[in-house]
A and B are shown apart, each in its own frame.
Chain A
């Protein structure tokens, strides 16, 4: 998605050097995708191997001085999640952002994820509802492809902040496919103000003065 799929990870004396996404080196990235020989290689690993790699990603990568470390996870409440929370615990993570689509089938998974956060003592920064509505580019009719409002309702029910809805924008998909910087390429997209607003709220809620 960030158009760095052909880059490799280098080793230095102090560990693995992450891949930089931009010229200014303001965003660095680490992924198992960089460690595969061929892009189509499947990583067929059971839990213990995945856990070992996650621990290495946190302890053996030369992250340097970071303001924020964002960790993307697979769905569920299993090895990757337990290991990530365990390895980050000494660094006092700010919390978790839970992303859902609006329909009940997806909300069900987030309810279980909320329980995971509670049980592992991870603060919930808030819930984001993604793929909320689709505006037809031909007639501007908005259709809720996957219903609407489930995320907000869940946030209220669970007593956690609701950070906002992001509409479904095929241009977003297209730009991610091409690995372009969404924020730079699509300031006019309907998803842009929504994402910017959510980012600001996360900043506000996690700044030392706030919350």
Chain B
């Protein structure tokens, strides 16, 4: 890079994005150091997309959990969405952890150290309950200090395998936890599921502007890749002191929080979850706080949110069915 003329290393103004058909070909790409990489020979569609479509025929609903910032509670939310949905014993729930470098789902679900087994039809996920199974790169590591030091392409390969080679079986809800941001993992999951219909994304944020800033980027990403947004969850919104019972804003919503942002962008706010130290404890112990602290305001808030997600999926599903049958 050093010997390159810095004038040619133009900032990516108007960059069409690597997944765009315009990648490397748009006017803005002229002079970009990555033009060659992006323009490359237009890649043939990955045959895995069709294979994944076949595999996903037995998976009714697919929900992605996204965030802009890290550490805002995606994995906690994904895990508890799975727990909540699995309370209906007639439903089969699967939880897929696509955070390849920071797989925290095994710990939160209390199945750290489990291994994935190879069966005739693929990898078997790890079962937490009869109707709740999990897949994570964490199950492929040799121990808690083992790190996955991989660049994008290897992470993408892993995600492809998770979708194509895992023996998912009949699933009502597949919940996909993601790392923060808008990069390889997110592009890959959307691309690999592009023929399989994703119900939509749930975006998690904390109330302060620094976090909301990144959520707006995440929302733009969803629009760009045509991923429907089920709604936004504001996590860690307010903390009630256990001693004096007065509420404090730990992450102050200086710009009106997720509520104002959702109004401005015309997106549903699914709910607000207060900060409750017991949630962190339950996660560390690998237990569902629904059963640990059923009376907490956080639990009831979570339950409302889960219900709204169920309604969203149900509604869209029946609409689809109706239109398939061509009747009102």
State yes or no: do A and B come from one complex.
yes
Inter-chain contact A60/B9, CB cutoff 8 Å: yes
A141 CB–B CB distance under 8 Å: yes
Interfacial chain B residues near A206, Cβ < 8 Å: none
Give the residues from 179 to 204 in chain A that come closer than 8 angstroms, CB to CB, to chain B. Answer: none
B88-107 contact mask (Cβ, 8 Å, vs A): 1 or 0: 00000000000011101001
Chain B residues with CB under 8 Å of A70's CB are: none
Question: CB within 8 A of A77: which of B19, B147, B221?
Answer: B147
A139→B250 contact, CB < 8 A:
no
Q: A47-B151, A77-B147 are in contact. Are A42 and B217 (CB under 8 A)?
A: yes
Shortest Cβ gap from A1 to chain B (Å): 7
In the bound complex, how far is the Cα of B179 from the Cα of A75, in angstroms? Answer: 9
B115 at the interface (CB under 8 A from A): no
Of all chain A residues, which has the CB nearest B209?
A: A177
Q: Given A43-B217, A173-B251, check contact A82 B275 (CB 8 Å).
A: no
Chain B residue at smallest Cβ distance from A49: B34
The segment from B56-64, B118-126, B162-170, B278-286 found at the interface with A is B278-286
* B208 at the A interface (CB under 8 A): yes
Residues of chain A contacted by B255 (CB below 8 angstroms)? 177
CB distance from A109 to the nearest CB of B (A): 5
Question: Are A48's CB and B34's CB within 8 A?
Answer: yes
Is the CB of B213 closer than 8 A to any CB of chain A?
A: yes
Q: Given A42-B221, A136-B246, A139-B246, is A111 in contact with B144 using a C-beta cutoff of 8 Å?
A: yes
Q: How many residues of B contact A (CB 8 A)?
A: 77
* Contacting residue for B1 out of A48, A56, A178, CB 8 A: A56
B241/A136 in contact, CB under 8 A: yes
Cα–Cα distance between A35 and B100 once the two chains are bound (Å): 28
- Give the residues from 1 to 24 in chain A that come closer than 8 angstroms, CB to CB, to chain B: 1, 9, 11, 14-16
* Docked-complex contact A35 and B13, CB < 8 angstroms: yes
Contact with A along B218-257 (1 / 0, CB 8 A): 1111001100000000000001011110101111101100
Judge whether B34 and A40 touch: CB under 8 Å: no
Chain B residues near A173 (CB-CB < 8 A): 208, 210, 250-252
* Bound-complex Cα distance A101 to B218 (A): 24
> Cβ of B243: which chain A residues have Cβ within 8 Å of it?
136, 139, 141
Identify the closest chain A residue to B149 (Cβ): A77
| Contact status B283-A170, CB under 8 Å | no
- List 16 additional A-B contacts (Cβ < 8 Å) besides A40-B220, A75-B179, A112-B148: A40-B213, A42-B182, A48-B152, A52-B1, A74-B180, A78-B100, A78-B150, A103-B281, A105-B283, A120-B149, A136-B244, A138-B244, A145-B239, A170-B251, A177-B252, A177-B255
